[in-house]
Structure 1
Amino acid sequence: MGKTLFIAEKPSVAMEFVKLLNVKGKRNNGYIEGEKSIFTWCVGHMVTMSYPEVYDEKLKFWNLRDLPFLPNEYKYEVIPSASGQFNIVSSLMNRDDVDTIYVCTDSGREGEYIYRLVDDMAGNPNKIKKRVWIDSQTEEEIKRGIKEARPLEEYDSLAHSAYLRAKEDYIFGINFSRLLTLLYGKTLANALKKDKNVVVAVGRVMTCVLGMVVEREREIREFKKKSFYKIIGNFSKENDKAEIMADWKAIDGSEYFESPKLYNEVGFNKKDDAEALITKLRDIGSGTIKEVKKTKEKKNPPLLYNLAELQNECTKRFKISPDETLKIVQNLYEKKMVTYPRTDARVLSTAVAKGVNGNLIKLRNMPIGEDLANITNEIIEKDYSKGILKSKYVDDSKITDHYAIIPTGEGKDTLLKLPSLDKQVYFVILRRFLSIFYPPAQYSKMTITILIGKENFIINKKICIDKGYLIVLGNDKEESEDSFPDSLRKGTKVTINELEIKEGETSPPKRYTTGSMIIAMENAGKLIEDEELREHIKGAGIGTSATRAEILKKLINIEYMQANKKTQIITPTNLGEMIYEAINVSIPSLLNPALTASWEKGLKLVNDKEIKPEEFMTKLEAYTKKNTFRVLKTSNIGLLNTKLLKIKNQE
């Protein structure tokens, strides 16, 4: 019987496999060899797509007549800096005494791509190949992954989607960057007063994100503030000096219901109209309580974190970039403290939920502080986890590759040694996890309506009567402690003490932060503030959980946009706005989030075996040809110059 070769994505992971499997092996250059097994590693990507000049030397020089460039067969090459390790891995894969290969690269599209490229370049050796798919780096999960490893060919559709994603980025980048640079590079250089032509960098996702940032900035720039006028009433019961504050609202029955004079139902466009109403109401002088409505409301804990939600949360809390959050949570994953971070799911699988009590028992022994230790003990002792299987936090249909990010309960000694920020991110994940086992927060709501003539003044009160899961999240202090005006009853007469006008102003849209942009990308260009609504409408996003942070980082590095280090607020640079215009006058569809999301959805359809790779490729090439030929036929330099002049005048 031959030897088994394990191939990890990086050295640290390979070492973890050696340690956990208790292999007594000899350390060699680039691998560790035991009696029955060999462990080696990639160093991230070791193989890449070849540049056009590898196909034909003349393509090293950019020329419009060579576009579009669409190879019949794509060429790949070993990255020079990784050639030493690649040769080691390739030779091990082709050794006669190796009969089985376990693929242990990261369990996702990118990890699959890293291995498949190596396999192809190594000559696709004729061995038994099995895929290890794990959700954490814990000992039991690694052992389970090896025991339950599936034949590699079962992941062929994932590999197809990975190759297509790379080809799509390559085709867009090579063709559209060259096309727009050759046509508009000099025009942009003149506008920016540069000696050399400006390179227009185009990317399938990157360009779309740039468009979102520029368009939001222009909405803010062009926003015109508008004043509106609300009426606030100060009332009291007869023979009672206690003040009752209420807001006027033009609901059904009001003289102003759906009137064009309103900004919305709580204010007027003109101050004169508000003053006229106040005069009428003062003449009436008193009113009655028309309705007292009491209701109870429950609020369940939020869903667990996926990578996008965690990145957004960390940008809000700690003002760090999504890239930094990903590095931290990846580090926590490699230290076995949390599950796989590059996930889109916010729920657990049924299988994981059945064993979740094991995580809780381990957490009880972690140095997590007295309050969280008590909470963990309460969850275990009161058996709060028994109902989790039938809850919204467990849903196999909402999981593709991995379930939500949760703590494993491991890393007792590691936690205390973590850098402060890493520790804070861990506790954010931990608190969200523990919160799902707790009861909902409960609120008592009261709505009181005071009728003066035909006009209604409304009081809305909401108080928390049971904090429930809010105790776990540590934000229970934010909840209102106001009491209700219990003495008010339907039919009670009230006197007007004062009516005053409060001026309000409309607000411009908010700029994106690096975190909110990740959420907008996940939701195909829509920045949806409400967390539950986001989950309901989620479809194909822009980019993937593994790539979004890197795309933002690239846009900042090439100076198309900038992020404030203290606030993480994103704004476009002048260069970014000019690049946007060059794309907008030539291939505007590249700026469309819906189209970009549709390409990502196409890759998912390939992964799900709903369409063949050839069908996706045919559409991709047709789109590239159509837009290249159209741009070559129509020069928009005059229009571009006009738009660039407008940007320069804003400086």
Structure 2
Amino acid sequence: MKLVIAEKSSVAQSLAAVIGATTRKDGYLEGNGWLVSWCVGHLAGLADADVYNPNYAKWRYDDLPILPEHWQMVVGKDKKKQFAVLKQLMNAPNVTEVVNACDAGREGELIFRSVYELAGCTKPMKRLWISSMEDSAIREGFANLRPSADYDGLRDAALCRAKADWLVGINATRLFSVLYHRTLNIGRVMSPTLALIVQREAEINTFQPVPFYTVTLELPGFSASGERMADKAAAEQLKAACQGADVTVKKVERRDKSEKPPALYDLTTLQRDANRLLGYTAQQTLDYLQNLYEKKLCTYPRTDSRYLTSDMAEGLPVLVNLVANAMPFRKGIAISCDAGAVINDKKVTDHHAVIPTCNLQNADLPGLPVGEKAVLELVAQRLLCAVADPHTYAETAVTVECAGTEFTAKGKTVKRPGWLALDAAYRAGLKSTEPDKEAEEKSLPELTEGQNLPLSGTAVKEGKTTPPKHFTEDTLLSAMETAGKADMPEDAERKGLGTPATRAGILEKLVSTGFLERKKSKKTVQLMPSHDAVSLITVLPEQLQSPLLTAEWEHRLSEIERGELSPEDFMAGISAMLQELVETYQVIKGTEYLFSPPREVVGKCPRCCGDVAELQKGFFCQNESCKFVIWKNSKWWAAKKKQPTKAVVAALLKDGRARVTGLYSEKTGKTYDATVVLEDDGQYVGFKLEFDRQEGGKR
């Protein structure tokens, strides 16, 4: 038997259906010589710090930096059952080979290898590497299984990425949290991303608008504008000079121009357009696209390529025709297919661009969830545009002279709409269409050099320079993609902050940790840093907020993938940086009140000795990795018509017991006094009552 391990049960079922493993078992499928099981995402991950040393459960400066010599992987508590299934299958005597069918990317490789090694498996490995969940792609993938050793570099890079994130997250978060007496989440990619946003807000806040003035001439069929002027009086003087002066056509230039179709989508450009046009967050777009991939309607989502491979050229016209017939917005628009515009083997890395699949033909598109349908239509629209004819037009630039000053005007005449006809038809169907990138230029009348024109009016238009715009997810994703790019080597394969697969998760973590807020302004949602975010970037040293350093790490990870850099050298650099950070960083003077006022500490957590503070709904341990909480409205307290007060919780935390008066009895309907005893098993917080002994031995 051969064992296939997918990342999710839904993917496993699709694979099993194609290779004939149709008999359902507990945690796997079987049939036709195959066993097919799944991982439930990250079954195993790097162990928490306290696994290496129980003392690390407490956050202490003296323990830093924490640099494990021998890394340990652990299985998540809620995933042990499925791990047991996989371990049993991997080590079953009748299993001769194990096929890694997890997602074909860095994280998928890590998910499989972690389980393989934790299970102690030594069976030969093969790799299923596909970019589509179509039946034909699955069959072809199984017919051409690749040696697992081909992906050792990918595994090494994935493990280095996970270890680097662990080291920076654990050490930097604890260091700054302890020094500044707040929980300050710091991440290898998260912090430089936050720095981009904070820097943008600083630029906006310090921006001083500068007024400028433009003189315009109203001429037959068009208007011409002069250059911007800083002095209003000078502009008014020019306007007065033009009134009654001759206007002469000095120069007429006509050029035929062409605008190439846009390239196909990679994940980041799709997320950007989905944010701008549909209002979806990067995470929503990724989730919708992942669902479409599993439904066999789109190709692999986590790609950084915008081209297709040459072996796809032959079938492309058929796919384009199918997509065109399925999309309502292209009715009445002729479809063309220039395959050469989207085929480039050299620009395809692990996966080609995101495109729809031929399964679109028989799919119930109206029955899809709204988000999935919208993302599918966006992907389809881009495919049709990318292979369409160029947009061609004639541009006319005219220079006229009046009162010794030159004024200019531009006009545009469309010769062939090309791909822009499809783009305009698609946008017309959107509920809230964004304005075109540039206002449609009107055509100019026929003009000849030396011609005199009658002047019908003059005006001075006042404007102001505008500040940089607040980041949206669209513009932030673009900034993340290009951060540090100018200083990176020309041949750097990966540039910027994070990867297409990780950027959405980084943004969501910044929001969930309270460093970033989504604020709606008109039709756009802006990303705004919180007060604590600005404070954090103020105290963080350059190496933890530099986009260049993190972009360089991404470049090195791609070198590890290709076998050009050893994992040991990469990890040694990370460890050395953290060692130096802990030894040299000094608290910045005058920052005591930089962060939000600290919550009042009620007592010490019985689990981790962290601070317990009162929040609206209960008393929470402030150590983020600890889940200890005493809820104010738990069933136990609600039944006694009481809420734990600060004084009661303080006593419970200090002595494990607290005297409480006026507890309600459901039996008698009366109140009574008793001692509440805290019972905490490390996972759940509970309480019991103790009563005073009365005279005569009665209670």
After TM superposition, the score normalised by the length of structure 1 is: 0.85
Other-structure match for 2:345: 396
Of Structure 1 and Structure 2, the greater helix share is in 1
- Contact 1:315/1:322 (<8 A) preserved: yes
| Cα contact 1:63–1:182 (8 A) shared by 2 | yes
> Partner residue of 1:148?
144
1:537 and 1:281 map into 2 onto residues whose CA distance is 55
Partner of 1:260: none
For residues 37-436 of structure 1, the aligned pairs below 5 Å read 37-123=34-120, 125-185=121-181, 198-235=182-219, 242=220, 244-248=222-226, 266-282=227-243, 285-360=245-320, 362-363=322-323, 367-369=326-328, 372=330, 379=335, 384-385=336-337, 387-389=338-340, 391=341, 393-411=342-360, 412-436=362-386
Code of the residue aligned with 1:271 in structure 2: it is K
CA drift of 1:293 comes to 0.8
| More divergent stretch after superposition (150-159 vs 415-424) | 415-424
Q: Identify the match of residue 390 of structure 2 among 430, 440, 457.
A: 440
Distance 1:270 1:551 in 2: 47
Q: Secondary structure at the match of 1:97?
A: coil
From the superposition, tell whether residues 645 and 360 of structure 1 become closer, same or farther in structure 2 (CA, over 3 Å).
Answer: closer
How is 1:11-22 mapped onto 2 (pairs within 5 angstroms)?
11-22=9-20
User: Percent of counterpart pairs with the same letter?
Assistant: 33
What is the deviation of 1:482?
Answer: 2.9
C-alpha spacing 1:618/1:526, structure 2 compared with 1 (3 Å): closer
CA contact (8 A) 2:494 2:554 kept: no
Tell me which residue corresponds to 1:10: 8
Q: What is the identity, as a one-letter code, of the residue corresponding to 2:580? A: K
Cα pair 1:446 1:461 within 8 Å, conserved? yes
Give structure 2 stretches of 5+ with no counterpart: 429-435, 598-699
Q: How does 1:411-560 map to 2 (within 5 A)?
A: 411=360, 412-475=362-425, 480=440, 482-486=442-446, 488-524=447-483, 540-560=495-515
Paired letter, 2:140? R
Instruction: Give the corresponding residue for 2:636.
Output: none
Looking at structure 1, the residues matched to 51 and 560 of structure 2 have their Cα atoms a distance apart, in angstroms, of 29
Secondary structure of the corresponding residue to residue 249 of structure 2: strand
Q: How does 1:584-603 map to 2 (within 5 A)?
A: 587-603=541-557
AA in 2 matched with 1:70: L
Is the aligned partner of 1:628 residue 2:575?
A: no
Partner amino acid for 1:145? G
Following the alignment from structure 1 to structure 2, what is the Cα–Cα distance between the partners of residues 106 and 628?
37
Deviations 1:396-449 (A, max 9, x none): 222211111001120423323102232121111111101222211111110111
CA contact (8 A) 1:581 1:644 kept: no
* CA deviations over 1:355-382 (Å, ceiling 9, x no partner): 3234235446x6433x53765xx54xxx
**Structure 1 residue 452, shift from structure 2 partner:** 2.5
Native 8 Å contact 1:23 1:34 kept in 2: yes
Does the CA contact (< 8 Å) of 1:5 and 1:101 recur in 2?
A: yes
CA distance in 2, matches of 1:568, 1:493: 50
The Cα offsets for residues 185-228 of structure 1, whole Å up to 9 and x where unpaired, read as 2xxxxxxxxxxxx2011001111111111111121112112111
The range that moved more, 152-161 or 461-470, is 461-470
Are the counterparts in 1 of residues 221 and 445 from structure 2 also a CA contact under 8 Å?
Answer: no
Alpha-carbon distance in structure 1 between the residues aligned to 2:61 and 2:139: 55
TM-score (normalised: structure 2): 0.79
Structure 1 residues 208 and 404: CA distance shift in structure 2, 3 A:
same
CA contact under 8 A between 1:524 and 1:539: conserved in structure 2? no
Residue 580 of structure 1 and its aligned partner are, at CA, apart by: 2.2
Partner of 1:530: none
The CA deviation at 1:281 is 4.0
Q: What is the CA deviation profile of residues 555-595 of structure 1, one whole-angstrom value per residue up to 9, with x for unaligned ones?
A: 11111110136632110111222222232xxx222111111
1:70-103 superposed Cα distances (whole Å, 9 cap, x missing partner): 1111111111110000010011011111001111
Partner of 2:538: 581
Letter of the structure 2 residue corresponding to residue 589 of structure 1: Q
Number of the residue aligned with 1:532? none
The answer on whether the counterparts of 1:47 and 1:118 sit within 8 Å (CA) in structure 2 is: yes
For 1:104 and 1:485, locate their aligned partners in 2 and report how far apart those are by CA, in whole Å. 63
1:514–1:563 contact (8 Å) kept in structure 2: no
SS at match of 1:458: strand
Matched letter for residue 310 of structure 1: L
* Amino acid in structure 1 at the alignment position of 2:374: Q
The answer as to whether partners of 1:234 and 1:499 remain within 8 angstroms in 2 is: yes
How much has 1:126 moved relative to structure 2? 2.3
Quickly say closer, same or farther: Cα 1:244–1:57, change in 2 above 3 A: closer
Higher deviation after alignment, 414-423 or 142-151: 414-423
Kindly indicate whether the alpha-carbon contact (under 8 Å) linking 1:367 and 1:416 is maintained by their aligned counterparts in 2. no
Cα distance, 1:147 vs. partner?
A: 1.1
Q: CA deviation at 1:540?
A: 0.6
- Per-residue Cα deviation, 1:465-494 (whole angstroms, up to 9, x for no partner): 2111122223598684733211x2111123
Give SS of 1:428's match: helix
Residue 394 (structure 1) shift: 1.7
- Confirm or deny: 8 A CA contact 1:581 1:640 kept in the other structure: no
CA contact 2:316–2:339 (8 Å) conserved in 1? no
Cα deviations by residue, 1:514-571 (Å, 9 ceiling, x for unpaired): 22212211112689xxxxxxx9999512111111111111111111110136632110
Give the distance between the partners of 2:100 and 2:321, measured in 1 at CA.
32
| Distance in 1 of aligned mates of 2:455 and 2:423 | 43
In structure 2, distance between residues paired with 1:539 and 1:280: 57
Q: Return the letter of the residue paired with 1:509.
A: P
Match of 1:570 among 527, 544, 565: 527
Give the superposition deviation at 1:277. 3.0
Distance 1:56 1:604 in 2: 32
In the alignment, is the contact (CA less than 8 A) between 2:320 and 2:383 conserved in 1?
A: no
1:268 match: secondary structure: coil
Cα separation, partners in 2 of 1:292 and 1:600, compared to 1, 3 Å: same
Whole-angstrom CA distance in 2 between matches of 1:295 and 1:344: 36
Would the alpha carbon gap of residues 313 and 525 (structure 1) be closer, same or farther in structure 2, given more than 3 Å must change? Answer: farther
Structure 1 CA distance for aligned equivalents of residues 405 and 290 of structure 2: 58
Change (3 A) 1:21 1:616: same
Residues 102/622 of structure 1: CA separation in 2 closer, same or farther (3 Å cut) = same
Q: CA deviation at 1:233?
A: 1.4
Offset of residue 131 of structure 1: 0.3
Q: Deviations over 1:486-513 (max 9, x none)?
A: 1x21111234443321100111101111
C-alpha separation in 2, matches of 1:449 and 1:368: 44
Residue correspondences, number:
581
**Residues 555/94 of structure 1: CA separation in 2 closer, same or farther (3 Å cut):** same
Q: Are the counterparts in 1 of residues 531 and 596 from structure 2 also a CA contact under 8 Å? A: no
RMSD over aligned CA atoms reads 2.4
